[in-house]
Chain A
């Protein structure tokens, strides 16, 4: 009896163990239900379309109204101030105002956020470059995607190198030990990568009009950016060559009316003057733009639902406009009316969207944002060539006296000063001013003269202390911090 039993029992136990062994592999391998995972994508053309769209969507972060380019490009200059009083999260008003006042501590939250924003965006670009190399897709398609990604990579590294100087140069996804061993490469090497990426992009990208969709990088965009990079490197000859190619391509032109560059209609988007433009779509359910609400006076509760108080226009900028310069009224409001009372404060009018629907407390605006436009190219070309004719095209559009003619303001006797003035007037609030002053070595004299406590050392941001702590190989810190 006992024997019989034990056999049965053993059979049962044995069966269970076998069943377990037979089942266990598939039973424990559960793929995520509600998220795709990396193992399953980066195979088809459709996968790469999604990844490319995602890479472009990082522009929303980098060029956000309260993002890195806004804080550095405008707030560090003499164009604007910030009136945000709300202490929002870790990026406090003290940390925000530090950009305006050059009192940026190494643990400034904004600095860390901008560092992270750029590098995490670079990853979204690099992973496409990494994965497409081995993808089984037609070469022409791969070449196009590579060119677009290299354009974005160059743009982000160009932003980074201008903000931080020497950088950890990451061109492929890296993890673990490799990440902790990373050192900063001298900025010359960073520029080398930027130039080679842009050259490749310029060669392989489509001309404007033939690009896969509006907003995608084009040959003209790559060349315009390369021109700016050369100028920043001090290489005016190469800048002139490449910028002339843009002009001579005849693909772009100034719009006859400065006003028609701005506004919330589709007619204001992707115009003949636009070279590289971030695409938004108004409406609560869409990826909408927020420049209008962020650049409105803080908690005005009148012109916008709340108002972000970012980039409030200084009198210094406002007063530099020549009396007959129509761009002043097109670019700025001088106040708003609340409960029948006029509240005087100068703020942005370029990205105005008075009919934007609300998404909660924010206006869901329809304005695009131009990273590169033809007026910028013309002014750069004057800078590169020393030829005032391009500058004068920009002035002619708004009916101002041309440089070198009698009516031209005497305050800007040299072409360099004229370009500096014109760029400030034409491109106000478009995240250029600080970089322009830096490029022309004018930041310290210009800003000091206005009582701003800037020094040579403050022209670079500190490497975030947190990043240095994480990886001491990134030492040394930028001088002056």
Chain B
């Protein structure tokens, strides 16, 4: 509280100071005023280089106010003073300057000059592209305007070199994983920092911003660019700038989109006939294995029922006498997935005067998911206002309210509906004869299968027989005051707040219609989360040009604090299903973790000096000092410097005559950034409750659960970047290439410590990791004709990641969770580990002639004796693969002809592996679950060896063969698959309705478009999508009141798929009209 008061006071005082000086300042022009100059009427027309009229170009007196905005035919009329200079500018085009003269103008704005004079948003300011010294990717509204995603990041997937955006699950509203320049952390998060209109937000959900409200997305990739965000810059920074109207007539824009999505890449599972055969063979194989001397595959159930664990050996009589009655059975994916529709309606109004700019925007998205009963709805309301109070003082407020309401199932992998649904046995119908959904229904003829160990999780049991609602409200407000005492100096103060509320309610209907694996009583969960984050910032920026020298300085001070509160209640013992909220429950329990509150705070000072000489030599230096409550008492403050320079070689005399090269720029940078995504209270030794019983009373205890580490601090990344920008043949070819190398030190690890310290691990800054990579972007204008244009944008990037140090003894981090994910020195993070399978033994001679494990028999997998010790043991496990790709690429071709524009985008990721955890259920026999159709090619006999890769199924391994079972079902390359793919990512077609047709209507411009996402994936992956990953990067400091360390570091299981949500095909048609 004390600090809040402190800051508010300081902000108020600073504003009083500003205003108190305002009167004096406003008087200033009057003191300097001279006799008014002659007013001249000017008029003209603005076109692009091809002569097409440009609407909405602002005409401004240089250093003064906007005097006109061009109309639809590009014409304008205004009055100006003699001696003034007029500036014509429009987003995406260059600026044209002309002294005021009477009569007609014909101003051609050159779209090609964009590359150097465009304004790029950088941390705490903007720079002309010419002066940018770091590595920044800037994406304007035009590049995502027609895309159908609710999250702008998804529209950028595959389009930006060095920025790996990956939709790991296809549920609507499910945010993609974003990694900039590789993995730079193991324990702290790898999510970049988001800066929305100047407000820095950690772990921000970009769904909270309607993409239609976004003017530009600027991604700070290198450390020199992101160092001004100090301890939060190491994962890169994504700056979102929202739109603001231009001076001139109000523009009303109305957009309506309708979308259809469906799963067009299903997982090929066994049908009922294949599965029954598989079932019978698995049971017979196990039966014979149990007692090879006495048991025969032909033995009947009477004999099989006598042994212990008989349910693993018995076979339903129907399967043998009349398997045909089941036909092909149910395709559970057809039950789960449907064609889904979506509607998206957006209305915005923007405009302004020379003193006021505004944007009002409302959007409503109603999107059905391809998974039954699932949906995502979003209402977004935004108002951005910027008002010039006087010539010196400007104030503004951006206020956005976003409410989402969704039901999302199937994204948590194992035990969620998608994973379970595909494992359900195909023999069962969607509904039984009683209208129930399962064979556990005692009154159904299907209940005869209860004795035989079959599996059914009817998708309805988790979706139709469960209520699940998730509501989220997000308010982001940012108010600012700018004061320009002199032209060169801008002082800015801002105060912003971000309030998030989330309510989640789940209720599972009693009995689940008999469709779940067991008949469970009703259960419910109610969860509430709220988070409030405020940021107060003050900056002063000074820009001055002296002859050939241009100097810019900015200094600033920032304070930010967040608090979150959460509570979860689990409930059971409901009398019936009439009341489905937790108050009706007989038993209410709080879970061990998840209730509580947490806080963090950050204080920062920052500065940047920019120097340009002759507009061709540029130098930037930044410095930030961050103090964070998360850091230990001995290490509370950190300093993060950067320097960078650029040389516009093409502006040198010796290059002036080059015909081919129109622009050549060299950039070099170094920066140091931090990653503060460490637990809020990781430096403090925390206590948690424990309990004992004193005779007959439960008494409380208090237990230390973590070791104090007063030296805990941010992870530190040093990065070098060298880049080159080339424009050839009058900007027909633009190339940007960057190479970087970064070293992350003091990497936070949960270091194992000797148990006799009382703990098994301690959060320590100890690891080191290296990333190096190359990024290349090539944009070409292949054809530039008056009415026909063809351009190509291509990007490719590669990153190599290597761990250099781990813990005191470099002990590998070995995670065993349905896969072995091993992080060790000298290797990229999180390799997959296991045996190498070398096909299937086809006969006994092959077994006898090889080094084999005990009990290996024909039909069992051949395991390679990799260490050559003539014994198959866990020592033969080796590195099998990794989820990090060799390289990623994207290519977009855009063709326009008259009002038509067609674009086609391919995306590819190459040289990585998927750890398919679903293998455990669907690739080999596991307790009667259904399996992939490809697994039907298993070894049946020497004459029928199958595909030579799929070993024969055993319904169980009797205790005498457990060792053999451990080898067969252990982790091996059988679990791993090549992930490489090429995706037809996006196809778009749009058409601008000719002016002639809309002339008589109130519509000024109209455009219709069609957008298709994810048309096809070329991939061998057996699961839904090679980009599926069940585990997200997460962050150790994200929700969870308990500041203790998590056991599985976030991100170490990336690339593992445990039955993820398919990524659907989506076709959208839309119409956009301007009024």
Contacts and interface: CB of A to CB of B under 8 A. Distances in A.
Contacts of B681: 32, 35, 37
Nearest to B629: A30
Interface in B966-986: 966
A201 B331 CA distance: 69
Given A20-B605, A281-B693, A467-B754, A33 B21 contact: no
Where chain B touches its partner, the secondary structure class is: mixed
Contact of B693 (A13, A39, A170, A215): A215
Nearest to B969: A87
B684 A39 contact: yes
Contacts of B605: 20
A122 B756 CA distance: 8
Nearest to A169: B756
A126 to B, nearest CB: 8
B687 interface: yes
Nearest to A125: B758
Given A29-B629, A51-B702, A119 B758 contact: yes
B867 interface: no
A13 B542 CA distance: 14
Contacts of B599: 30, 33
Contacts of A53: 690-692, 694, 699-702
Contacts of A55: 701
Contact of A34 (B557, B597, B691, B760): B597
Contact of B808 (A30, A180, A214, A286): A180
A113 B963 CA distance: 22
Nearest to B686: A35
Interface stretch (B11-19, B473-481, B777-785): B11-19
A23 B696 CA distance: 51
**Chain B interface size, under 10 / 10 to 19 / 20 to 34 / 35 or more:** 35 or more
Interface string A103-122: 00000000000011001101
Interface residues of A, number: 86
A34 B1042 contact: yes
A52 B754 CA distance: 24
Interface in B802-861: 808-809, 811, 816
B802 to A, nearest CB: 22
B601 A35 contact: no
A86 to B, nearest CB: 11
B759 to A, nearest CB: 7
B309 to A, nearest CB: 8
Given A32-B1043, A127-B704, A270 B695 contact: yes
Contacts of A161: none
Interface string A349-365: 00000000000000000
A33 B597 contact: yes
A97 B995 CA distance: 82
B17 A93 contact: no
Interface string A376-398: 00000000000000000000000
Contact of B6 (A23, A57, A97): A23
Interface in A81-100: 85, 90, 92-94, 97
A279 B685 contact: no
A441 interface: no
A56 interface: yes
A324 interface: no
Interface string A125-163: 011000000000000000000000000000000000000
B962 interface: yes
A237 interface: no
A281 B690 contact: no
A78 B6 CA distance: 72
Contacts of A214: 694-696
Interface string B666-697: 00000000000000110011111011111111
B116 interface: no
B282 interface: no
Interface in B692-723: 692-705, 707-708
A233 interface: no
Nearest to A5: B485
Nearest to B705: A35
A12 B491 contact: yes
A282 to B, nearest CB: 10
A407 B824 CA distance: 68
A352 to B, nearest CB: 19
B489 interface: yes
B37 to A, nearest CB: 23
Interface in B76-91: none
B615 interface: no
Contacts of A28: 601, 603, 627-629, 636
A54 B587 CA distance: 26
A51 B489 contact: no
A193 interface: no
Nearest to A6: B485
Interface string B153-181: 00000000000000000000000000000
A263 B1008 CA distance: 78
Contacts of A2: 486
Contacts of B17: 8, 11-12, 15
Interface in A365-419: none
Interface string B193-230: 00000000000000000000000000000000000000
B51 interface: no
A210 interface: no
B35 interface: no
A462 to B, nearest CB: 15
A19 to B, nearest CB: 4
B538 interface: yes
Contacts of B389: none
Contacts of B18: 12
Given A28-B629, A30-B600, A34-B597, A13 B540 contact: yes
A120 B758 contact: yes
A47 interface: yes
B10 A27 contact: no
Given A175-B707, A213-B694, A35 B489 contact: no
Given A32-B686, A92-B966, A94-B966, A9 B600 contact: no
B999 interface: no
B26 interface: no
A123 B759 contact: yes
A126 B704 CA distance: 12
A284 interface: yes
A268 to B, nearest CB: 13
Contacts of A5: 21, 25, 485-486, 489
A173 interface: yes
B564 to A, nearest CB: 9
Nearest to A464: B755
A34 B10 contact: no
B557 A16 contact: yes
Contacts of A212: 694
30 contacts: A5-B489, A12-B14, A15-B13, A16-B538, A17-B557, A26-B2, A27-B3, A27-B6, A32-B680, A33-B597, A34-B596, A38-B687, A38-B708, A39-B684, A53-B690, A53-B694, A57-B692, A85-B956, A116-B760, A119-B756, A122-B756, A124-B758, A179-B753, A179-B756, A179-B757, A215-B692, A266-B696, A284-B589, A466-B752, A471-B754
Question: Closest 3 CB pairs between A and B?
Answer: A123-B758, A34-B596, A54-B701
Interface of B: 2-3, 6-7, 9-10, 13-14, 17-18, 20-21, 24-25, 28, 309, 485-486, 489, 491, 538, 540, 555, 557, 559, 561, 563, 587, 589, 595-601, 603, 605, 627-629, 636, 680-681, 684-688, 690-705, 707-708, 752-760, 808-809, 811, 816, 956, 959, 962-963, 966, 1041-1043
Interface of A: 1-2, 4-5, 8-9, 11-13, 15-17, 19-20, 22-24, 26-39, 41, 47, 49-57, 60, 85, 90, 92-94, 97, 115-116, 119-120, 122-124, 126-127, 168, 170, 173-175, 179-180, 182, 212-216, 266, 269-270, 279-281, 284-287, 466-467, 469-471
